[in-house]
């Protein structure tokens, strides 16, 4: 719950206090250890969750344009918009 919510220190304190008051919850010593661990490793845990949830490829570049036909054998095809999209994908970190 702490990691998925990416809790700040105030949220963490409120969450752990609630857990210590809950029937069958954690002790105040356990809450202190969890708080210390979260304070020391929050950034690493957050980055790890992001890396696990992201695809291998990332969008490196994107170009797009909209073309209109100005000549055609059939009059109903003139001024028909056509979107052209070019996406460059690459591995994250490269």
**Per-residue pLDDT reduced to its tens digit, 49-81:** 887 777 777 888 999 999 887 777 777 777 788
Element (H, E) at 54: none
> Angle 28-53/9-21 helices, nearest 10 degrees?
130
- 18-61 pLDDT, tens per residue? 999 999 889 999 999 999 999 999 999 988 888 777 777 788 89
Report the pLDDT value the prediction gives residue 93, as an integer from 0 to 100. 64
Q: Quote the mean pLDDT of the chain.
A: 87
- Beta-bridge partners for 83: 66
């Amino acid at each position: 719950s702490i990691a998925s919510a990416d809790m700040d220190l105030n949220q963490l304190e409120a969450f752990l206090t609630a857990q210590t008051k809950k029937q069958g919850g954690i002790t105040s010593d356990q809450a202190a250890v969890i708080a210390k661990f979260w304070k020391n490793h929050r950034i690493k845990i957050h980055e790890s969750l992001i890396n696990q949830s992201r695809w291998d490829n990332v969008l490196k570049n994107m170009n797009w344009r909209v073309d209109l036909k100005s000549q055609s054998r059939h009059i109903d095809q003139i001024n028909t918009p056509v979107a052209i999209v070019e996406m460059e994908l690459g591995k994250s970190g490269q």
